[in-house]
Amino acid sequence: MINTGVISFATGAILFLVLTLVLFTGQQGRSRKNALKFASVTSTVWLAFTALTIYYGTAFFSYLVEPVRSFSWLLFLGYVLVSSVTDKQVADRRFRKATLITASYTVLLTTMVLYRIFAGTAAINIFGFDTLYAGFLLVAVVGLVLVEQIMRNSHIESRRAVKYLCIGLGVIFAYDFYLYSNALLFQGLDVGLWEARGFVNAMAVPVLAIAIARDPRLSLDIFVSRRMVFHTTALLATGLYLLAMGVGGYYIRRYGGEWGTVVQAIFLFGAGLVLMVLFFSGRIRASMRVFINKHFFHYKYDYRDEWLRFIETLSSGQPDDRLRERAIHSIAEIIDSPGGVLWMRQMNRFVPVASWQMPVSSRDVVQRDHPLIQFMTAREWLIDIDEWERDPELYNHLELPDWLRRMPDAWLVVPLIVHDHMLGFIILAHSPAQTHFNWEDSDLVKTAGRQVAVHLAQLESSQALAEAKQFEARHQLTSYVMHDLKNLIAQLSLVVTNASKHRHNPRFMDDAITTVDNSVQKMNRLLNYLRSDSLQIQETETIELCSVLREVVQMMSSGKPVPTLDCQAQDIHIQADRDRFSAIIGHLVRNAQDASAEDGRVIVRLFKRNVHATIEVQDSGCGMDSDFIKHRLFRPFDSTKGKAGMGIGVYETRDYIYRLGGDLEVISRVGEGTTFRIRVTISDTH
């Protein structure tokens, strides 16, 4: 019967042999990797040799190889430790010195073993301690010290790999320390501890493998095919399943009484039936393949390069310059598709809006409630038409539009989803280079589709905003025109009202003709504004402020209280449209008159401060509180005059002054009156 120790050390030898074979793959010639390979080889030889010596009853001969195995691991730990020293010359000198001391100590231990073998001496005791066990105990102590120093001196970014290396080797040296300290204490090796030593070394191998996989300086490059891993995983899972079912059947038979055998047979055959159903399920097999590919293999794509290329293709050119075609091209480029077509949502259907190297008919539309749209919205799945034809069950027997099934070279349907809403979808043509479309291709294309959807949504938003701005500009222009027409109608109405009394007065007739002529000119200018369809400042000219204000005051003198003019500075010129500037000052004067009693006062002032001309329109009316000024005064279409007012005059005034580069200030107190103060820059040329 094979001894437990043989199984223990043989198990350790097999696992270290596998580790050694793995280390011999990938890039060679690296010092750290060579040191690790040497340690792994010596451990394999030592464990195998120990298993043989136990089998043949000469276990003590294993001590001939153990010093070399210990030396190899100390050598590797020393190399790892000195590699953290920045001064390479100092590090090499320390490493050579430590290697020499360790090699000398190894030779000493080997000599002690040979002496005991050939001299037939059971032990060499000094002060009552076995020197050989003490020697191996010292090796274990040194190994633990090196492990502790490596962990303490490693950089934070390298601890991800170093911690597993320290755990694996720390377990090996800690067990050696326990084994030999116990031997020194009780003056002899414990057989049970000795036989378990192989299993302890075997348990350290998976931990060392993790450390090797995480250390780029060890450069592993072993390849196992996806098919091999899939079948191995399936076989392992099947074995575990059958083992669990066997255990369950055993307990059913044992505790089932007279029905135990019957229930056991039913249970086992039922378990076998379930296993076969699961094994032949295409969906479960596909899910297992995806799981294995995701978690056991390197990625197919260099995602950094793919994403940079994708963004460069998508973002090249102007935002509205053939963005839809670039969106198709950017996704098609990922999987080498030669063409594609983009469908976008319009009202209650999806219509083709752009194509790239792929024909399409404008009649190929999809209603919003079509099963294709509902399926992609709910699942957010990319549809592989070839896979749909092979296995429609994967897509819950989804119904595709007739034109899509007849569409030549149609391959993939990529949903464009923004915030869980379907913005559209892209149909890509078959790729001559892509022979197999897997989960990684699907995830990448679907993610790129989401990014494309965001860009297309921004394009639609910007276009909608541009249209809204056009409507807003037209509405604003209409409001300004209506406001000016209201003022012109008020002037003409005043002329008509006074005509019956003063029609025989020549001076009145002259003023009336002048007023009508002025109104006609303003109406013509309003028509020009409407034809230009623009609210931008028209051609400006150099105007003299005092003369303009005098004309405004004279024109507004027909109302009460009659405004007065106080020009404290003369010959002040600014750049503005004369009629437009006169109109906004007239708005302020008329508002002042409306806010004041007939026996009140309205004063228009002009003075100069530094490089600015300041115009004030002051009244003695009811005034306004700060809340009204802050929240309502400049809000368009908010008037305190009821149906008689448009609520646009003050807003238009501020808007025009801002366009001139000036400023408008309002000073008001309830019951005391209001002052509108306009500051504009004086023109240097006139």
Q: What tens digit of pLDDT does each residue of 296-316 get?
A: 555 566 677 788 888 888 887
CB count in 10 Å sphere of residue 669: 13
Query: 3-state SS string over 18-79?
Result: HHHHHHCCCCCCCHHHHHHHHHHHHHHHHHHHHHHHHHCCCHHHHHHCHHHHHHHHHHHHHH
Instruction: List Cβ neighbours of 234 (8 Å cut-off, separation of 6 or more).
Output: 279, 288
Half-sphere exposure of 654 (CA within 13 A, CB side): 13
Task: Determine which helix (DSSP H) or strand (DSSP E) holds 619, and give its type and residue range.
Answer: strand 612-619
Predicted pLDDT at 224: 47
Instruction: List Cβ neighbours of 65 (8 Å cut-off, separation of 6 or more).
Output: 42, 45, 46, 49, 50
Predicted pLDDT at 159: 66
What are the structure tokens assigned to 571, written together? 């010959």
Predicted pLDDT at 536: 47
Instruction: List Cβ neighbours of 462 (8 Å cut-off, separation of 6 or more).
Output: 319, 320
Single out the residue of 393, 400, 387 nearest to residue 436, CA to CA. Answer: 387
Which segments of the chain have a pLDDT < 50? Answer: 1, 127-128, 219-224, 534-537, 643-644
Predicted pLDDT at 641: 61
**What is the per-residue pLDDT across 245-290, written as a single tens digit (0 to 9) for each?**
666 766 666 666 655 565 656 666 666 666 666 666 655 665 665 5
Predicted pLDDT at 342: 94
**What is the per-residue pLDDT across 552-569, written as a single tens digit (0 to 9) for each?**
888 788 778 999 999 998
Predicted pLDDT at 89: 64
User: What Rg, from alpha-carbon coordinates, does the chain have?
Assistant: 47
Between CA 247 and CA 239 the distance in angstroms is 12
**Do 429 and 411 contact (CB within 8 A), yes or no?**
yes
Predicted pLDDT at 1: 44
Amino acid identity, position 505 = N
